[in-house]
Amino acid sequence: MQKQLLLDLTERAGWTGAQAALGLAVTELADIPMWWAAPVALALASAKSWVAGRLGRAGTASTLPAAADPASHPTGI
């Protein structure tokens, strides 16, 4: 596998895991039904993408640096 693909995969998996864990933690701490974890995680994912789109590389929602971001170096597949 290409290094950039592995970095992208790791970034996405890491953020997804963190958002899911935070969604579960919020529902547990707020003492609300567990099914709310999915909408909470969705809101966290949206917020992360919005922030990354303004602070990260322009035109992407990636938090990877431009040198490692696959969107910065398209392979033309």
Q: Is the pLDDT reported for residue 29 higher than 70?
A: yes
Q: Given a cut of 90, is residue 26 above it in pLDDT? A: yes
**Closest Cα partner for 62 from 52, 48, 76?**
52
Angle between helix 37-55 and helix 3-30 axes, rounded to 10 deg: 130
- Provide the mean pLDDT of the chain: 85
Does the pTM of the predicted model rise above 0.85?
Answer: no
List pLDDT tens digits, range 42-62: 999 999 988 888 877 777 778
| CA–CA separation, 54 and 39 (whole Å) | 23
